[in-house]
Amino acid sequence: MKLNKNYSKLEENYLFTEIALRTKKFIDANPQKPLIKLGIGDVTLPLPALVADAIINAFEELKHAETFRGYGPELGYGFAKNAVAQYYKSYGVELQLDEITVGDGIGSDIANITDLFEKGANTVLVPDPVYPLYKATSLMDNQKIEYIACTAENDFLPSPPNFPSDMIYLCSPNNPTGASFNFEQLKRWVDYANSCGAVILYDNAYERFIEESDKPHSIFQIEGAKTCAIEFGSLSKTAGFTCVRAGYTVVPFELKSDGVPLNRMWQQRQTTKYNGAPYPQQRGVVAALSKEGLAAADKNIAEYKKNSTLITNVLKEKNIFYSGGTNSPYIWFKCPNNMGSWEFFDFLLNEVYVVGTPGVGFGANGENYFRLTTFNTYENTKEAMERIRGIL
């Protein structure tokens, strides 16, 4: 057998594994110290009752012969795709149902879409720092990676480079920096991609956290995006689906390369290699994207935003440079006293028993930066920030 040698290019220690190891070592040595985790990128508030009920009811249907179902459509049930299309309509984006696929979260879709692109033959733009999946899958496929710097100088929002590329990963609102493109900035990327025939793989996982009206909720709100972009939307952070698992991917019919529609290829890929997202989850999608479901989701997001204020108030008070928190559940800040990311991680853990995420784990430009998240409880976040205030 001949293995994919590109896997050896992946980093030995995945960021969150290293964090878990260091945290465990600390707990073993200090079992009585009250640890608070502000590193988690996972929701903590429960599912809205109407969403949980929709999922439970769907399971109920499966108990009875008259309403039992077997395999569903690989690309998603019409009712779920319709709910997604209606959601897009609320932002003024018209989609046809067959431009949408519903799956089990976008981690897998973002990774699986790479099947459409020839391995070892594409130049891929990967922001630095960024969510690690894009770099890892590009390495696995032996693509040529060009990193695009996200730094304080460009407000962590890079502009297109002055050289052509084939594939571009953009994530806005961004994990980890919390920065989000405005309409104008995103239009520049759309124009660039159209001019060089590149595809933008647009990770929209945190769209629901957007508060500012100059920030688009979908790349398809930008003129020209349908000929150059694929968008991934997740219910994970929008509606607390990290355990339930559901997301959607939009591949517009107009998106083509040498006359070949990427939508057709994605459908071929999914109908061959995927047997469809579970029926109950898709009923959950409909409930989550209903008027009442979105109101309940927004209520939970408003709770997380209270934590955002707790965190940013301390950073402001201490004059620490930060980004994020407004349109995003992430706050990205400069480590005080020019500390390295891991040095600050150890400092917080040992001095005040707070766990965060070292910025360097998201890319070389993340060195000297640190990420806190707003997903813990209000009480824990308040306590953690009081402790941090005491040592900064």
Q: How far is the CB of 41 from ligand PLP (least distance, A)?
A: 5
Cα–Cα distance between 144 and 136 in angstroms, integer?
A: 12
Instruction: Look at the block and give the residue holding tokens 């006293």.
Output: 337
Q: Which is nearer to ligand PLP, 48 or 127 (CB)?
A: 127
State the angle between helix axes of 378-391 and 291-317 in degrees (0 to 180), rounded to the nearest 10.
Answer: 10
Cα–Cα distance between 12 and 23 in angstroms, integer?
A: 18
Output the CA–CA distances (angstroms, integers) from residue 210 to 221, 288, 373, in the order listed. Answer: 14, 17, 16
Q: How far is the CB of 31 from ligand PLP (least distance, A)?
A: 30
Q: How far is the CB of 134 from ligand PLP (least distance, A)?
A: 9
Binding site for ligand PLP (CB under 6 A): 41, 105-107, 131, 171, 175, 203, 205, 234, 236, 242, 247
Cβ distance 197 to 257 under 8 Å?
A: yes
Nearest one of 254, 220, 232 to 93, comparing CA atoms: 220
Q: How far is the CB of 175 from ligand PLP (least distance, A)?
A: 4
Q: How far is the CB of 174 from ligand PLP (least distance, A)?
A: 8
Length of the chain: 392
Q: How far is the CB of 203 from ligand PLP (least distance, A)?
A: 5
Q: Which is nearer to ligand PLP, 141 or 388 (CB)?
A: 141
Q: Which is nearer to ligand PLP, 142 or 242 (CB)?
A: 242
Residues 266-270: contacts with CB under 8 Å, at least 24 apart = 266/101, 266/113, 266/116, 266/230, 267/75, 267/98, 267/101, 269/112, 269/113, 269/115, 269/116, 270/74, 270/75, 270/101, 270/103, 270/112
Q: How far is the CB of 370 from ligand PLP (least distance, A)?
A: 17
Cα–Cα distance between 293 and 304 in angstroms, integer?
A: 17
Q: Which is nearer to ligand PLP, 206 or 333 (CB)?
A: 206
Q: Which is nearer to ligand PLP, 352 or 357 (CB)?
A: 357
Q: Which is nearer to ligand PLP, 169 or 347 (CB)?
A: 169
Q: Which is nearer to ligand PLP, 48 or 107 (CB)?
A: 107
Q: How far is the CB of 362 from ligand PLP (least distance, A)?
A: 10
Give me the sign of the Cα torsion angle 339, 154, 324, 326.
Answer: positive
Q: Which is nearer to ligand PLP, 41 or 284 (CB)?
A: 41
Burial letters for 353-379: b for 16+ Cβ neighbours within 10 Å, e otherwise?
Answer: bbbbbbbbbbbebbbbbbbbbbbbeee
State the angle between helix axes of 378-391 and 341-352 in degrees (0 to 180), rounded to the nearest 10.
Answer: 100
